[in-house]
Amino acid sequence: MTGALPRWNVEHINGDRSDNRWANLRQGERDLKLEHRGPLREPTDIKGVWQVEGRFEAAVEISGVTMNLGSLPTAEEAAGAIARVHQRARDRRVKQGPQAA
């Protein structure tokens, strides 16, 4: 970019949205921006599961930490992965006993 503010979208040449050096910016076009966008996440009825390009990705948050459980072939397998992680977390809490305040 040359110092003039762009009329429309700005694109990062190297794809790193945090790299805002003038040399890395160019005026973007909406069509190209949509092409360069990553795959869309389609929500499912299962909390923590979404569909991406025909597969199902699962993630769960436990104690403020988000764990990505990976990409699985079916929504049922993704839901099962989430259930197993929740069960392990419950087992750990029971094994540790009540926390002293």
Rounded distance, CA 58 to CA 82, Å?
Answer: 7
Residue-by-residue pLDDT tens, the chain, 101 positions: 556 766 667 888 888 889 988 888 888 776 666 676 767 788 899 999 999 989 999 999 998 999 999 999 999 999 999 999 999 999 988 887 766 55
Backbone dihedral region of 90: left (phi > 0), alpha (psi from -120 to 50 degrees) or beta?
alpha
Rounded distance, CA 39 to CA 73, Å?
Answer: 16
pLDDT for res 99: 64
Rounded distance, CA 92 to CA 9, Å?
Answer: 49
Report the predicted TM-score, pTM, of the whole model to 2 decimal places. Answer: 0.57
Rounded distance, CA 41 to CA 70, Å?
Answer: 14
Place of tokens 């909406």: 30
Show the domains of the chain with their CATH numbers. Answer: 1-37 (no CATH), 42-96 (3.30.730)
pLDDT for res 46: 94
Tokens linked to 27: 């005026």
pLDDT for res 49: 96
CB-hemisphere CA count at 13 Å for 38?
A: 4
Chain-centre distance of CA 64, in angstroms?
Answer: 15
